[in-house]
């Protein structure tokens, strides 16, 4: 039995369902709608496990899922050094979004990542505090800024409505996923040059240990032939 983890809700769930349907793998719900149970109409040797997209990376790492489809941004954020436990089998053509820095539009002199470092220094020297950056992508943000030699910043955890953190006085800058940039604009934010942390999209991931052990399994090969 192959344990396949799929997103349980949202736009990504619908895109995954369409992806499978186009490959003659129709997903059908079983049980009540809130039970998060599903199966393939024609496949009985694949166990579908519906989870929050953000939980799928950890469950693959732990070995509770053999394969999963989720966003690359979630894998990068949830598991540091993820390549040790997880293999990315195929990048898919949906779920596209960028993880970007959003700064207030009225910061007319802040248009490049280097400018962000300068304003962070200004906050430290003038206000005796660090530049506050709201995000739920704390690991990616910290690693990116340190790599780019940006200093004098503090990350503020945000689990929802990150774009509103500046208006609400929680942060000075945000880092969030953006597909079109419209939500940023609605909150009077703008992106900056060299301020894209990650280009994300949905991918098929597999537990490395499982793949090494079961790579020649006929059922697994048949499934992957359809998906890849």
Q: With bands split at pLDDT 50, 70 and 90, how would you rate the model's confidence at 180?
A: confident
Same domain, 220 and 193: no
Same domain, 80 and 45: yes
Q: What is the structure's pLDDT at 189?
A: 93
Same domain, 120 and 49: no
Same domain, 183 and 205: no
What is the mean pLDDT of the segment spanning 177-204? 93
Q: What is the structure's pLDDT at 32?
A: 54
Same domain, 26 and 82: yes
E-assigned strand segments in 81-188: 86-91, 97-104, 131-135, 153-157, 173-178
Which residue segment(s) compose the domain that 12 sits in? 2-96+201-227
Same domain, 145 and 177: yes
Same domain, 182 and 123: yes
Percent of the chain with pLDDT over 70: 97
What is the mean pLDDT of the segment spanning 55-77? 97
Tokens of 33: 């709608």
Q: With bands split at pLDDT 50, 70 and 90, how would you rate the model's confidence at 163?
A: confident
What is the mean pLDDT of the segment spanning 199-211? 96
The whole-angstrom separation of Cα 40 and Cα 123 is: 55
Give residues with Cβ within 8 angstroms of 163, minimum separation 6.
102, 174, 176, 183, 184, 186, 187, 189
Same domain, 216 and 182: no
Q: Which of 184, 142, 178 is nearest to 163 (CA)?
A: 184
Same domain, 59 and 128: no
What is the mean pLDDT of the segment spanning 111-127? 94
Judged against a pLDDT cut of 80, whether residue 6 lies above it is answered with yes
Same domain, 143 and 49: no
Same domain, 88 and 104: no
Which CATH number fits the domain that encloses residue 150? 3.40.190.10
Same domain, 171 and 215: no
CB atoms within 10 A of CB 92: 17
Q: What is the structure's pLDDT at 35?
A: 53
Number of domains in the chain: 2
Q: Which of 21, 33, 32, 29 is nearest to 48 (CA)?
A: 29
């Amino acid at each position: 039995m192959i344990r396949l983890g799929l997103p349980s809700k949202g736009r990504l769930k619908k895109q995954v369902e369409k992806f499978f349907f186009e490959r003659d793998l129709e997903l059908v719900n079983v049980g009540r709608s809130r039970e998060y149970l599903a199966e393939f109409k024609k496949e009985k040797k694949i166990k579908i496990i519906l989870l929050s997209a953000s939980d799928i990376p950890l469950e693959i790492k732990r070995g509770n899922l053999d394969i999963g489809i989720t966003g690359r941004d979630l894998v990068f954020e949830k598991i540091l050094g993820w390549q040790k436990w997880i293999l990315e089998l195929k990048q898919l053509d949906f779920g596209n979004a960028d993880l970007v820095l959003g700064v207030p539009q009225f910061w007319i002199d802040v248009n490049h990542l280097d400018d962000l470092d300068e304003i962070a220094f200004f906050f430290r020297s003038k206000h005796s505090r660090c530049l506050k950056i709201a995000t739920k992508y704390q690991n990616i943000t910290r690693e990116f800024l340190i790599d780019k030699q940006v200093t004098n910043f503090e990350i503020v955890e945000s689990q929802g409505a990150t774009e509103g953190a500046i208006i609400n006085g929680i942060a000075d800058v945000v880092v969030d996923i953006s597909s079109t940039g419209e939500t940023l604009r609605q909150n009077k934010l703008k992106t900056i040059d060299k301020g894209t942390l990650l280009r994300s999209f949905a991918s098929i991931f597999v537990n490395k240990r499982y793949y090494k052990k079961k790579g020649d399994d006929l059922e697994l090969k048949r499934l992957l032939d359809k998906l890849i």
